[in-house]
Structure 1
Amino acid sequence: MAETETNNRQRLYRQIVEQILQSIDAGEFPAGTRLPAERELSEKFGVSRPTVREAVIALEAMGRVSVKTGSGVYVLESKGVSNVGDSVSPFELLETRVLIEGEAAALAASMISDEQVEELKHALDDMARENESGNHQSDVADRAFHAVIAAATNNRLLTAMIENLWDVQEGQHHIRAAHHSVCKRDPEARLQEHQDIYDALSSRDPQAARTAMRNHFGRGINALHQRTEQEAVEAVQRELSKTRERFSLTRLNQTST
């Protein structure tokens, strides 16, 4: 029973994270403003205050809010998104993540602490629970997983760069939509890829960590190619259907009668 209650609370806090992020992205809570008090958020979302507290912790780990003791929780500006623009493609983002996060994983494997390995396991377990519940589009556990790896490099510039890549992915609608479509294609493969990354990092094996991370994004690139090709074929088929309807003998016969 206790395990069930814990799982339910974890699912709840992830839902609250998603709802607060949607409110931030919609402009309800602009950068620099303070979020409502814990009690108000608890009443707004109909959850307990500990659930709200866990959601705030997750948002802080994602770099979306800053908790100031005695003052409140403040929304942070989403770094980098406004400077990139809609011209960046999902392929460019994935290519960049292959190059940067592959090397970050290798570095993290030689630096990661026991506590960070445990954090990584918690994030992996959260991803598994999301799969079980059919919530394949949530980025909360996924981002937390990659954030632990970034922090384990002990390189603040690398950590900031990886956070920025996540901000681009979540802040650009066309990239976020492409990412979600890829996540839905094979959630079990996606989970296994993260398991492989975890295994390499927990074994402190830099080469295996680099390979596992690159394989993870490599499958994403292939899935994105398949999605793009499918959309192109469907677009051509729609145009051909319009042409067939426009220049059909049936249409000509109807016109001449």
Structure 2
Amino acid sequence: MEFQTVKQQRLYMQVAEQIIGMIGKGTIDVGARLPSERDLAEKLGVSRPTIREAMIAMEISGVVEIRSGSGVYVTRKPGRQGSLPRELGAGPFEILEARLALEGETAALAAERIGKQGLQKLKDLLAEMARENQQESAHEDADEQFHRVIAEASENSVLLSAVEWLWTLRNESEISQMFHQRLRNEGVRPIIEDHQAIYDALCEGSASKARKAMHKHLRRVIKSQISAKST
């Protein structure tokens, strides 16, 4: 008797495979434009971020094409297996939601413990972030380092490891990489004023202001990425 390993599947992959199955059965025709994110979210009972992640997963599989400002179109029927070809990694919104839950408290601790050297690093990184934002093919190295320095300043090795792990997931997840590259191509950049507000709160040594500034920043990132014109 042969058993198959039981795996917990990511929600966006469940959504993608359901839509791919409908395309395979002909319920959705090749060339058709898929319903809007809002409509799909209501029909499937999931969030819009999950729908967006599913669309990107299907584009990676070659079944759909995302046309900026127009919608998502079916390009071909799936293969015989009918499902996504491989594990694509943690979804970008999954990662952002985890960061929202974690980094606010990390910033609050950092506000109480950060020293002059840490604050100077953050000030230098703000300047570097502004320079990176001016580059046509911008990366987010300064943004990543900014958040890592705050985690280091919390003086909590568990929080530091967790923050570093979430950034590693963001950088290594195939679906997350594709999503963020698409955003960069559209001109989406790290928000300097949000990072400045976090820095100012840390300079004041205010845990409550640092927590609030970090939460405001990450919620704005989530909202802006949901409303981006990619899909």
Give the TM bin, normalised by the shorter chain: 0.5 to 0.7
1:154 aligns with 2:152: no
1:129 aligns with 2:128: no
Cα distance in 2 for residues equivalent to 1:181 and 1:216 = 20
Give me the TM-score of the superposition, normalised by structure 2.
0.57
Give me the TM-score of the superposition, normalised by structure 1.
0.52
- 1:247 aligned residue: none
1:97 aligns with 2:99: yes
Cα distance in 1 for residues equivalent to 2:203 and 2:136 = 27
Aligned mate of 2:90, from 88, 91, 101: 88
Cα distance in 1 for residues equivalent to 2:158 and 2:123 = 24
2:206 maps to amino acid: D
Task: Tell me how far 1:185 sits from its aligned partner.
Answer: 4.9
1:210 maps to amino acid: R
Cα distance in 2 for residues equivalent to 1:90 and 1:122 = 27
Cα distance in 2 for residues equivalent to 1:95 and 1:176 = 17
Root mean square deviation of aligned Cα: 1.9
Say which structure, 1 or 2, has more relative contact order (CA 8 Å, 6+ apart).
2
- 2:220 aligned residue: 219
Does the Cα contact within 8 Å between 2:118 and 2:149 map onto a contact in 1? yes
1:176 maps to amino acid: Q
Task: Tell me how far 1:119 sits from its aligned partner.
Answer: 0.6
Cα distance in 2 for residues equivalent to 1:205 and 1:135 = 36
Task: Tell me how far 1:135 sits from its aligned partner.
Answer: 4.4
Higher-Rg member (1/2): 1
Gaps of 5+ in 1: 1-84, 232-257
Cα distance in 2 for residues equivalent to 1:145 and 1:214 = 15
Gaps of 5+ in 2: 1-86
Cα distance in 2 for residues equivalent to 1:134 and 1:124 = 18
% identical aligned pairs: 35
Cα distance in 2 for residues equivalent to 1:179 and 1:103 = 25
SS in 1 for 2:113: coil
- 2:210 aligned residue: 209
1:179 aligns with 2:180: yes
State which drifts further: 152-161 or 209-218.
209-218
Structure 2 CA distance for partners of 1:115 and 1:87, relative to 1, 3 Å: closer
Cα distance in 2 for residues equivalent to 1:123 and 1:157 = 23
Cα distance in 2 for residues equivalent to 1:196 and 1:182 = 23
Task: Tell me how far 1:181 sits from its aligned partner.
Answer: 4.1
| 1:1-257 paired onto structure 2 within 5 Å | 86-136=88-138, 138-182=139-183, 185-187=187-189, 190-227=191-228, 231=231
- How many residues end up aligned between the 2 structures? 144
Cα distance in 2 for residues equivalent to 1:123 and 1:112 = 15
Cα distance in 1 for residues equivalent to 2:104 and 2:147 = 11
2:197 maps to amino acid: D
Does the Cα contact within 8 Å between 2:89 and 2:174 map onto a contact in 1? no
Task: Tell me how far 1:87 sits from its aligned partner.
Answer: 4.9
Task: Tell me how far 1:209 sits from its aligned partner.
Answer: 0.8
1:99 maps to amino acid: A
1:149 maps to amino acid: I
Task: Tell me how far 1:182 sits from its aligned partner.
Answer: 4.3
